[in-house]
Amino acid sequence: MEIVKNTVVTLDYTVRDTQGNMVDDGAQPLVYLHGGYDGIFPLLEEALHGKKTGDKFQIKLQPDDAFGDYDESLVMVEERALFPDTIEIGMAFERVGEDGEDDMIFRVTDIEGDKVVVDGNHPLAGEALVFDVTVSEVRAASAEEVTHGHVHGPHGHHH
């Protein structure tokens, strides 16, 4: 079966940075609803369109096509007193937006004395990514999956 709109696609994949370092070993297959439902990066979805089970390919996504460019304005230094005593480097928290702004996830990147550095960039922002992909399964989506805009069942979303 060919990958077209409203098919459920299962991919075996790995993701590396441009230096060849493993970013995602694809331990779990990626399963998504094809056809503009925002389940995967648009450029990757475009490259998959028309492929069939067993097809293999490699695609490089530039930062703009993946997690975006690194934005220095999303790095902030905050007072240590604003955080719980158990704060550690690597912890993440959601910062609730003000005046209708979207909520954002920030990671703690440094703690020095009474200051904490937080970063709202995705950890892979600014990175080009190389995907090695094998299409392992393609099936027609159910009416419910299409209505909900995502995959149900094994490896997909469950209600």
44: in domain: yes
CATH of the domain at 80: 2.40.10.330
Do 61 and 130 lie in one domain? The reply is: yes
130: in domain: yes
Is the whole model's pTM more than 0.85, yes or no? Answer: no
Q: Give the number of domains in the chain.
A: 2
Do 80 and 101 lie in one domain? The reply is: yes
Token digits of residue 39 = 């389940």
Indicate whether 158 pLDDT > 60: no
The predicted-structure confidence for 38-59, as pLDDT tens digits, reads as follows: 999 999 999 999 999 999 999 9
Q: Which residue range(s) make up the domain with 77? A: 72-119
Dist CA 89 CA 75 (whole Å)? 14
Please report the pLDDT score of residue 157 as a whole number.
54
CA distances from 140 to 3, 24, 32, 119, 132 (A): 9, 27, 12, 40, 24
Token digits of residue 2 = 């060919």
Dihedral of CA atoms 38, 43, 45, 51 in degrees, nearest 10, equals 180
22: in domain: yes
Dist CA 2 CA 9 (whole Å)? 10
Do 33 and 80 lie in one domain? The reply is: no
Do 106 and 143 lie in one domain? The reply is: no
The predicted-structure confidence for 79-137, as pLDDT tens digits, reads as follows: 999 999 999 999 998 877 666 566 789 999 999 999 999 999 999 999 999 999 999 99
